[in-house]
Structure 1
Amino acid sequence: MGNGNTHHRRPKKHSKDDASLAAPTPSEGRLTPSMQHRGTVGKFQGKDVMISYSHQDIDIMRKIKTILEKADITVWVDETGLSPGTSYLREIGEAIVDSYAFLVLLSQDSVQSKYCQDEVSLAYISNKSIFAVAIKPFDELTPIMDLGMKLTLSAVQWHFITGESKMHEQLEPLISSIQANLTVLKQTQSDSEAEERTTDDESEEEPSNYVMNRQAFKLRRLMSRTRILSEEDDLEDTSEIQTDKEFWISHFGEDIQMVEWPKFSQAVDTTYAEVWKQMLVTEQQKQLLLHLMSKEMAVKKNVLNFKEFKRFCTRDRETLPLSQAIRLYAAETYAMKEVFNVNSSVRLSAIANLRKYQSKAVIDSLLDLLEGEEDPDITVVAAISLAHAASGIKMFKKRAEIGLLLCLDHKDRLVRESGCLALGRLKSKKSISKLVQLWRNDTISSVREAAQIAINQIGGDEAEQAMHVTKVLSEEIGLLKKSD
């Protein structure tokens, strides 16, 4: 558990493409564009499990920790009750992101703790295998959980401790699950890191949406299929297995490619009444989710295109029933809302980690931070994360360029540096003139250096011409000075 609201960086080994992003060297205590989590070195790397809990439950936590360690599962946990501030987020945020798996100890105290809620959300969007250990009955905990935690843990396997005398026996299935997950995670870690786009080729089309938490996604599909098989004799309600195309045809017709959003949202509202009920959302929360879904589906002039609807139902190139896509989208949306909240204790960790995901929701969140954030440290991390998230996708790059150009006029020099380097990574030709202006006129040498790096990265005739003219003028001015 923890109580903080800032983050501190640790170094990582950068690829050749990322080298320029680490150029700025800020004053002590400030974040740099090199703040990234994968590949970091430090006391968290290699830990199998990070435990999140309420300090009211520290005795039970210690017993669980001992049991895990006796099973050769390494554990990181805060046993000191870190106070709010930079040190807290450095410890907690990095431990969550750098550990292989995440275990949350659920009690009446922890499920109502803002810190534990934030930590669960960060673990979810960081693609961690999440394990829930409850020391109270399910029916006692869910009514007092906030919606975000309910949605996030809805596809997580829960383990229950009903008495400390039987704790070891009751945790045996948990230990087996963790060990099995760790074996797979450690074998495939390099493959997971290779998923990040590093190509300079730009696609005209938006990619299939990525799944923020693959472990929860796989379990959700398994649970759905198990429920369907067990209810094969009673399939009056087929909405849970209805494909995207079947839903569309049954409500709008096979030849219809465009439908008005109010008509679509009404069909979703009525068809999936049971889904909304199971998700425990209020009417206001449901309407908010529908509104956010309209943005995710790129609704224009109140009209939805079938192509965008199909994209919404496609995750990691697998087409899901609309009901599953809604559940997944709701969990991801509320996890993101949790960590992006201005009072979130893991906000900076979340922003940096989102660079691995390419979706409208991620781009929108990062752009919102660039345009409306007052904390320059957060703006710096958002700029660098946006450059990674938008790379390779032309439609994302155009939107990212608009936000990043705003950084070049920011009063904070680190924000200007990160904006330069991010635009360089995106090879933004439309930013050449502004970058040249900074290279020639900014009063801070590190900003001028970042602008020059970006111009060189972008390349092309315009960049070369601008660099050449500036160098010639500088040489002429130098000669005039000598003649005086």
Structure 2
Amino acid sequence: MGTAPSKTSTHHAVATPVVALPKPSKSPHQVDVKDVMISYSHQDVDAMRKLKSMLEGSGLTVWVDEAALTPGSVFLREIGEAIVASRLFIVLLSGDSVQSKYCQDEVSLAYVSNKNIFAVSLLQYDDVTKVMDLGMKLTLSCVQWTFLNEDTENAMNALLGSLKLSLSKVEGGNKEENEEDSGQGESDADDATNVMNKQALNFRLHAKRSSDMLPVETVPDNLMAQEFWKLKFGDVSEVEWAVFADTMKTHMSSMWNSIHMSAKDVKDMLKLIGTEMDVENGMLSYINYIKFCKKGKEIVALDEAVQLFASATVAVKGVFNISSSVRLTAIKNLGDHQSKAVINVLLDLLYDEEQDVQVVAAISLAHAASGITRIKTRSTVVNGLLGCLSSNDRLVRESGCLALGRMKSKAAIAKLLHLWRNDTISSVREAAQIAIEQIGGEEAERAMHVTKVLSDEIQKLKKN
């Protein structure tokens, strides 16, 4: 994957362990669980040490690569594992860290791993964001920011209070559970990150505006989703998507401008939002609009729903960039997501040039899609996984079998039976058999019975 950079480099790199099984065994180098993991540029090591000291002085345990990595360890992998294992994630922002590809990857990995993220900035908002790329701006647009450039003591006290509150909720298991959207035939995953992001948005809404706080233009106007629709479109049950998109674009122009989104960025984001809202034949229904704005048991403002979706989408796409240092680690953590954006990314990854990525994507796709009953979506996922069974790589075929078995896809029985009878690799034949047994049903039982009977007869002929 690459060699370890020296401590004089801009930042550390993160390795991505190869995973070919649904439940990978514990790594011999697996990191200890800590309260907080700090991501930083090594050029800010003095600031990181001061922050670490303050956190530990308040009773929190902290993971940083400087202290936790030892000579001979697979330390690139350990950084990725530390993000996943730690309860909270802090990114120390500076002119150096926001331009570090490794920091950007780590923020994206923290996001898709459902970590409560806290941004601690050494600079004022305008100074740090003017050198920050769009992806990081979107990903960090919904998290709590702390500024250490002025009044450090008060800023740290506020940060510590937020960290401890968040820890109490993580340790108490106070996470929103996925709830099934009755009448739609498909469940929605509402992860802990969305809950955290909502708390961060509320924090910013009620925060006193000052020179080191986020500009007021980035704060949603909190016009609730139902109110927005009624105000703009009245009591109609559906509206043309082009009309809705133009209305939303105008309504949210200050937010787009505040994070410096180009016209193309906005156009691409609206296209993704349209897909997520299930726009069909150029029309958006009120039901699908409300479904998009629903987070857990609460229907939030359109502004907030869009901001959460945008940041999540960018994080997912960023972490799977061809040069991302944390792709495989991130793919392992996508099983908790069931949004169309995530599923579409995973489907694309089934055709990645790296076969290790295809393997883990297939496994994650099975986890992410197992709760989806919408016929069209399930069919697309099953067809993608069926393609894995024709791969020339045995791990891709094996993971495809296991994924189809987990999805209990009856449409896969014929092809799985062919692999069970004909594949030259015993582990693939075994995976195909396991999948057929998991799928079950008369067709699977009949196919397995016929094959076993024929095998027994062939063995008898050999003996005679």
> What TM-score does the superposition give when structure 2 sets the normalisation length?
0.87
Aligned to 1:186: 171
- CA deviations over 1:420-439 (Å, ceiling 9, x no partner): 11111111111111111100
Which residue matches 1:161? 148
Residues 397-476 of structure 1: pairs in structure 2 closer than 5 A: 397-476=378-457
Secondary structure of 2:457's aligned partner: helix
In the alignment, the residues of structure 2 paired with residue 305 and residue 227 of structure 1 have an alpha-carbon distance, to the nearest angstrom, of 38
Classify 1:209/1:451 alpha carbon distance in 2 versus 1 (closer, same or farther; 3 Å).
closer
Post-superposition offset of 1:311: 1.1
Alpha-carbon displacement from aligned partner over 1:15-65 (angstroms, at most 9, x marks no partner): xxxxxxxxxxxxxxx52223569x989643421111100011112212222
Q: Report the counterpart of residue 278 of structure 1 in structure 2.
A: 258
Q: Per-residue deviation at 1:451? A: 0.5
- Deviation of residue 253 (structure 1)? 3.2
What are the residue-to-residue correspondences of 1:51-70 with 2, within 5 Å? 51-70=38-57
RMSD after superposition: 2.9
The DSSP-based 3-state class of the residue aligned with 1:136 is coil
Residue 104 of structure 1 aligns with which residue?
Answer: 91
- The residue aligned with 1:266 is 246
The residue that corresponds to 2:319 in the other structure is 339
CA distance in 1, matches of 2:292, 2:415: 36
Contact 2:225–2:300 (CA under 8 A) maintained in structure 1? yes
| Contact map agreement 1:352 1:381 (CA 8 A) in 2 | yes
Distance 1:431 1:204, change over 3 A: farther
Change in 2 beyond 3 A, CA 1:89/1:311: farther
CA contact (8 A) 1:355 1:386 kept: yes
Give the distance between the partners of 1:462 and 1:417, measured in 2 at CA.
21
- Secondary structure of the residue that 1:465 maps to in structure 2? helix
Count residues in correspondence: 439
Aligned twin of 2:13: 3
Distance 2:295 2:133 in 1: 26
Query: Tell me, what secondary structure is at the counterpart of 2:38?
Result: strand
AA partner of residue 406 (structure 2)? R
- 2:129 is matched with 142
Picking from 55, 61, 77, the partner of 2:64 is 77
Identity of aligned residues (%): 49
CA contact (8 A) 1:242 1:321 kept: yes
| 1:172 and 2:157 aligned | yes
Q: Distance in 2 between matches of 1:82 and 1:100?
A: 19
Separation of aligned partners in 2, 1:135 and 1:467:
64
Answer yes or no: is the 8 Å Cα contact 1:244–1:313 preserved in 2. yes
Q: How far has the Cα of 1:219 moved from its partner?
A: 1.8
Cα deviation, residue 344, structure 1: 1.0
Correspondence for 1:231: none
Where do 5+ consecutive residues of structure 2 fail to align? 1-10, 210-218
Distance 1:36-1:240 versus aligned 2 partners, 3 A rule: farther
CA distance in 2, matches of 1:264, 1:126: 32
**Which 5+ residue runs of structure 1 have no aligned equivalent?**
9-29, 229-237
C-alpha contact 1:128 1:213 (8 A) present in aligned 2 = no
Q: Kindly report which structure 2 residues correspond to 1:13-412, keeping only aligned pairs within 5 A, or say none.
A: 30-34=18-22, 43-79=30-66, 87-162=74-149, 170-188=155-173, 192=175, 195=177, 205-208=185-188, 210-211=190-191, 212-224=193-205, 240-254=221-235, 256-370=236-350, 372-395=351-374, 396-412=377-393
Letter of the 1:421 counterpart = L
Q: Is 2:30–2:78's contact at 8 Å kept on the other side of the alignment?
A: no
Cα distance in 2 between the residues matched to 1:32 and 1:345: 18
The Cα of 1:174 is off from its aligned counterpart by 2.3
Indicate conservation of the 8 Å contact 2:108/2:139, yes or no.
yes
* Secondary structure in structure 2 of the residue aligned to 1:154: coil
Give the letter aligned to residue 275 of structure 1: M
Q: Give me the whole-angstrom Cα distance separating, in 2, the residues matched to 1:239 and 1:54.
A: 31
**Structure-2 change in CA distance of 1:142 and 1:214 (3 Å):** same
Q: In the superposition, relative to structure 1, how do residues 241 and 161 fare at CA in structure 2: closer, same or farther (>3 Å)?
A: closer
- Counterpart amino acid of residue 134 in structure 1: S
- Structure 1 residues 162-210: Cα deviation after superposition (integer angstroms, max 9, x where no partner): 38xx86675333233222322221121xx65x9479x9xx996123452
- TM normalised by structure 1 equals 0.84
C-alpha distance in 2, partners of 1:75/1:239?
Answer: 33
Q: Which moved more, 1:219-228 or 1:420-429?
A: 219-228
Going from structure 1 to structure 2, the CA distance change for 1:453 and 1:43 (only over 3 Å counts) comes to closer
SS in 2 for 1:299: coil
3-state SS in 2 of match to 1:133: strand
Cα separation, partners in 2 of 1:223 and 1:348, compared to 1, 3 Å:
same
What's 1:13 paired with? none
Question: What residue identity is the alignment partner of 2:160?
Answer: I
Question: Does the CA-based 8 Å contact 1:209-1:312 persist in structure 2?
Answer: no
- Residues 1:428 and 1:408: Cα distance change in structure 2 (over 3 Å): same
Residue 11 of structure 1 is matched in structure 2 by: none
| CA 227–330 in structure 1, closer or farther in 2 if over 3 Å, else same | farther
Query: What secondary structure is seen at the aligned counterpart in 2 of 1:374?
Result: coil
Larger RCO, structure (CA 8 Å, separation 6 or more): 1
The answer on whether the counterparts of 2:385 and 2:400 sit within 8 Å (CA) in structure 1 is yes
Counterpart residue identity of residue 363, structure 2: I
Cα–Cα, structure 1 residues 332 and 300, in superposed 2: closer, same or farther, change >3 Å? same
Aligned AA (2:325): S
Q: Against the structure 1 CA distance between its residues 302 and 412, is the aligned structure 2 distance closer, same or farther, given a 3 Å change threshold? A: same
- Give the superposition deviation at 1:412: 0.7
Structure 1 residues 244 and 182: CA distance shift in structure 2, 3 A: closer
Q: Is the 8 A contact 2:118 2:143 kept in 1?
A: yes
